[in-house]
Amino acid sequence: MLTHTQIWRAIDALAARHGMSASRLAKLAGLDPTTFNKSKRGAANGKLRWPSTESLAKVLSATGSGLKEFVALVADKGVVRARMVPLIGMAQAGTSGFFDDAGFPAGSGWEDIAFPEIADSHCYALEIAGDSMLPVYRDGDRILVSPQGSLRRGDRVVVKTHAGEVMAKQLGRMTAQRVELKSFNPAFDDRNFTLNEIAFVHRIIWASQ
How many CA atoms, within 13 angstroms, populate the side-chain half-sphere of residue 170? 16
Helix (H, G, I), strand (E, B) or coil at 183: coil
CA distance 161 to 195: 9
Report the alpha-carbon distance of residue 156 to residue 207 in Å, rounded.
11
Q: How far apart are CA 29 and CA 41, in angstroms?
A: 18
Cβ neighbours around 11 below 10 Å, total: 25
pLDDT (0 to 100) of residue 13? 80
Choose the CATH number for 82-208 among 1.10.260.40, 3.30.930.10, 3.40.1670.10, 2.10.109.10. Answer: 2.10.109.10
The predicted structure's pLDDT at residue 52 = 93
Q: What is the pLDDT of residue 31?
A: 94
Instruction: For the chain, report the end-to-end CA distance as a whole number of angstroms.
Output: 36
pLDDT at 81: 60
pLDDT in tens, the chain (209 residues): 788 888 988 888 888 777 677 888 899 899 998 999 888 888 878 788 899 999 999 999 988 888 888 888 888 654 556 677 889 999 899 999 999 999 999 988 898 877 766 678 889 999 999 999 999 888 988 898 999 888 989 999 999 999 999 999 999 999 989 999 999 999 999 999 999 999 999 999 888 75
Helix (H, G, I), strand (E, B) or coil at 54: helix
Where along the chain do the CATH 2.10.109.10 domains lie?
82-208
Nearest to 85 by CA among 124, 49, 121, 55: 124
CA-based nearest residue to 116, from 24, 13, 23: 13
Instruction: Label residue 144 exposed, middle or buried (CB < 10 Å: 0-12, 13-18, 19+).
Output: buried
Where does the chain hold its CATH 1.10.260.40 domain(s)?
4-75
The answer to whether 202 and 102 have CB atoms below 8 angstroms apart is no
pLDDT value for 19: 67
In angstroms, rounded to a whole number, what is the distance separating the alpha carbons of residues 34 and 31? 8
Taking the C-alpha atoms of residue 168 and residue 99, their distance in angstroms, rounded to an integer, is: 16
CATH architecture of 4-75: Orthogonal Bundle (1.10)
